[in-house]
Amino acid sequence: MSVFHRLTVLAVAACICAPASTSAADEYVRAFSNGSDTGLTWLPRARAWWNGPHWLPHDGPNPFEAEEAAGPLDVPETTTERPPTIVALDDVPAEDFTGGGDVVAVRRDLGDALGSRRTGVGHLTVAAGALSSPPHCHAAEEEIFFVLDGDGTLLLGGDEHPVRTGSVVARPPGTGVPHAFRAGDAPLTLLAFGTREPNDIVFFPRSGKVGLRGIKARFFVTQVEYWDGEV
């Protein structure tokens, strides 16, 4: 396997993703972040800053210890109205993401529904035996996928890798290696996170299409070698 085919497929730790048999009462959380431009995070209860892997002031107490010392969190009274940045999955319209070929899926764009700016997140249910999308690769966008339910196969260039409930897949940008998921004998449910890079270029090798996100344009291209047309 080449360096560009390196893959992150991890069994999800309990702090990130609950097993399929876990009840809601166990309070598992799936979290994604593309990080901070500055690397600085203010912790008001601890009165400290995270500065990458360190904290400020550098001679201050451990922020986790300071959080504990601050006592129970002051939680306001619950209200019947939620802010627009909280949404239930079933309240987000489902979109038929079927292209008439081997891609058969239902997608809910949670990021758009929540008004997120820098992180995209989609909930995708792939029909048994079908693909999640046409195989594609991104120039600037990084994607992370959580397998919520079912099992199937990750198509990664010319390689195939099994995935199942609890698998996590990272697709770094700029690899030039296309990816897609194929569901097994039952539907495959995924959470797909992306970094919403406005200057991203996406390439679909089966059709020869290229998409430019910033100008919302797609067109066909012909792949050539570096010296083609020069001599």
Structurally, the chain folds into a number of domains equal to 2
94-104: per-residue pLDDT in tens?
A: 999 998 799 99
CATH code, domain carrying 114 = 2.60.120.10
Is the pLDDT assigned to residue 138 strictly greater than 50? yes
Instruction: Verify that 57 and 161 share a domain, yes or no.
Output: no
Q: Does residue 67 sit in helix, strand or coil?
A: helix
- % of the chain exceeding 70 in pLDDT: 87
Residue 36 has pLDDT above 80, yes or no: no
- What mean pLDDT do residues 128-134 have? 97
Domain that holds residue 61: 40-69
